Amino acid sequence: MNTTPDMPSLLPDRSDASGWSWRLHVLTAGDPAWLGRVLRLGVGAWTIGRDLGDTPGPLQSADPLVSRVHLRLGVRAGASSITVEDLASRNGTWVNGRLAVHAEMAHGSVLRFGNTVAVLEADSGRHHGFEAPTPDVPGHSERARQIRHELERAAKAVLPTLIVGATGTGKEHAAVEIHRRSGRRGPLVRLNIAAVPETLFEAELFGSAQGAYTGAQKARAGRVVEANGGTLVLDEIGELPLPLQSKLLRVLEERTVRALGAHMDTQVDVKFLASTNANLDELVRQGRFRADLLARLRSQMVFLPPLSDRRIDILELADVVVPASVATATGAKQWREILPPEAVEVLILRPWTYNLRELRATLLEHSQHAADPVTLVTWLRPAPVRTAARETSEMLAPTLPNALVRNALPEVRGKRRGPSRRELEQLIVETSGNVEEIGRRLQCARRQVYRWLEAVDLSTDLLVAARHRAIEEAKWRE
């Protein structure tokens, strides 16, 4: 896996073997006593079976599909993997989806025997005290504990925090967790920078004074002032236009903000969080991001790993993004109660390119396949990777799950699907806020345009601001 400077190693430091141990996390099992267990494996040989003698041992399973003596795990001192040996079992042993007689298992490997599915973890033993999962950061893996530890540290810090990770890794959940742990009484306010046109961004972030432009009948508070006493999350910070980066840096350093058209600064008490999936160091090298702003944002940093590196936590994450009771009519509260072992194995091994977004869309479509385990397992397997020669736009649409595609555009009153928020913002800029022209382009009445603006939570003040800017630009050209 290629890493950026913002992306730490996902594996424990094995330079000192005494600092870590092997743990086998059981995600689903044919023996109810095994469900959810974490088996600590010390140096030596560990035999798993249904009948290991008169005294039941820690690795004795009542799973009916497990042989009397099924398999053996070998743990060697200081080794970076453990050995797996199938002991001529009736139903076989599977490692990472492949039938295995002798195999090596490393950190993150998936083991299936009988109706039991488990994931191997090399645990460094750090971050104790953060074992308890939370609604926004579930999971019992060391990675989950480390994330909760980093979020706690960020919550207590006064300086800004930068949350980095690939798309869909849960940056919005991390922001909620930081805000909750900070104990701040004010609101949690978000601003998706990528969704705001550059011409409207300054007023959206900093606000505007009464009379700042034609039609501004009253002062409008920006997102910074809205978040006073609380937390402001700047999503996709890498998309921030360069001219505005110096203004944001001033707000971060001086804790004051000046609205558009105002003559005085306003003091604010805001905890700033920024998130991105971009390589900000590369943007600095390209001259598209200020090095001093990046240094300021990096005062505290949290990295969120992709789902493929959190195999242990996938079922718990699934319970958060789509509760089983919502997606199915079975009455089950957890996905492990519904999915057969083969489906759990496929679900864990799937690469999850779009991470939690893809997981959510996949689970929402689960119900139509739940009655047929064979069809379910086939359906859960990822589609063949398309050739790199295809354009990105051609690759994206067919490979996205249908639920994700269906939810791409808002629906107003159960009728015609409207344009997205970003499309409406672009139309506002292109038409200088002319509602008649927007309606003409969308082939709808003025009233419908206003309904669509309301549906995606766009203020009509943006229309006025766009008109004012067009007037000012026309005067400047004259």
CATH number for position 57: 2.60.200.20
Range of the domain at 464: 421-477
- pLDDT at res. 171: 95
Say whether pLDDT at 427 is over 90. Answer: no
**Quick check: is 146 in a domain?**
yes
- Residue 48 reports pLDDT greater than 50: yes
Q: Are 325 and 332 in contact (CB under 8 A)?
A: yes
Name, of 220-229, 310-319, 329-338, the range with top average pLDDT.
310-319
Parallel, antiparallel or unpaired: strands 256-257 and 231-235: unpaired
- CA-CA distances (angstroms) from residue 95 to 71, 81, 86, 108, 124? 12, 13, 11, 11, 23
Residue 252 shares a structural domain with residue 359: no
Number of domains in the chain: 4
Rounded to whole angstroms, what are the CA distances from 98 to 116, 342, 372? 15, 12, 22
- State mean pLDDT over 74-101: 93
Average pLDDT over all residues of the chain: 81
Same domain, 300 and 329: no
Are residues 203 and 240 both part of a single domain? Answer: yes
- Whether residue 386 is found in the same domain as residue 458: no
> Bridge partners of 82?
105
Instruction: Evaluate whether 350 touches 381 at the Cβ level (below 8 Å).
Output: yes
pLDDT at 179 over 80: yes
More confident position, 378 or 350: 350
For residue 182, is it within any domain?
yes
CA angle 276, 425, 412 (to 5 degrees): 105
Q: Which of 126-130, 207-211, 239-243, 374-378 has the highest mean pLDDT?
A: 239-243
* Residue 7: inside a domain: no
Which of 130, 134, 135, 155 has its CA nearest to residue 145? 130
Domain end position, chosen among 354, 378, 406? 406
The mean pLDDT value for 173-192 works out to: 96
- Confidence (pLDDT) at 382: 64
pLDDT value for 471: 63
pLDDT at 456 over 70: yes
The enclosing domain of 253 has a CATH number of 3.40.50.300
Same domain, yes or no: 95 and 200: no
**Is the distance from CB of 448 to CB of 455 less than 8 angstroms?**
no
Q: Point out the least confidently predicted range of 31-45, 93-107, 115-129, 377-391.
A: 377-391
List the one residue out of 84, 78, 70, 81 whose CA is nearest residue 30: 70
Mark whether 299 and 322 lie in a shared domain: no
Q: How many other C-beta atoms can be found within 10 angstroms of the C-beta atom of residue 308? A: 18
**Rounded percentage of the chain residues whose pLDDT exceeds 70:** 77
CA dist 450 and 436 (Å) reads: 11
Q: Which residue has the higher pLDDT, 413 or 111?
A: 111
Q: Kindly state whether residue 6 falls inside one of the protein's structural domains.
A: no
Confidence band (pLDDT; 50, 70, 90) for 368?
low
Sheet holding 300-304, edge to edge: 188-192, 231-235, 271-276, 161-165, 300-304
Asked whether residue 133 is assigned to any structural domain, the reply reads no
Alpha-carbon distance of 235 to 245, in angstroms, equals: 14
User: Which helix (H) or strand (E) is 86 found in, with range?
Assistant: strand 82-86
Q: Which of 351, 380, 406 is the last residue of a domain?
A: 406
The verdict on 330 and 203 lying in the same domain is no
Residue 20 binned pLDDT confidence (cut-offs 50, 70, 90): confident
pLDDT band of 397, cuts 50, 70, 90: very low
What is the enclosing helix (H) or strand (E) of 235?
Answer: strand 231-235
Same domain, 251 and 311: no
Helices assigned H by DSSP within 171-262: 171-182, 198-206, 223-226, 242-254
Q: Residue 350 pLDDT > 50, yes or no?
A: yes
Q: How far is CA 407 from CA 9, 53, 325, 357, in A?
A: 35, 55, 20, 11
- Give pLDDT, residue 363: 84
Looking at 189-198, 223-232, 416-425, which range is the least confident one? 416-425
**Same domain for 366 and 259:** no
Specify if 16 maps to a domain.
Answer: no
Strands 266-267 and 256-257: antiparallel
Residue at a domain's end among 71, 91, 123: 123
pLDDT attached to residue 55: 58
User: What length does the chain have?
Assistant: 478
Q: Is residue 434 part of a domain?
A: yes
**What is residue 441's predicted lDDT score, i.e. its pLDDT?**
87
Mean pLDDT of 328-354: 86
High-pLDDT (> 90) share of the chain, %: 51
Is residue 184 domain-shared with residue 293, that is, in the same domain? yes
| 376 and 466 housed in the same domain | no
pLDDT tens by residue, 136-166: 999 999 999 999 999 999 999 999 999 999 9
Residues 6 or more apart whose Cβ sits within 8 Å of residue 104: 81, 82, 83, 84
Q: Classify residue 64 by burial, with Cβ atoms within 10 Å: 0-12, 13-18, 19+.
A: exposed
Report d(CA 180, CA 177) in Å as an integer.
5
* Single pTM value for the model: 0.73
| Domain co-membership, 401 together with 436 | no
CA 126, distance to chain mean position in Å, is 23
Q: What is the per-residue pLDDT for 369?
A: 61
Across 86-105, average pLDDT: 92
pLDDT score, position 448: 85
Question: Quick one: pLDDT at residue 129?
Answer: 79
Rounded Cα distance between 342 and 110, Å, is 11
| Cβ proximity of 27 and 346 under 8 Å | no
Residue 188 in any domain: the answer is yes
SS3 20: coil
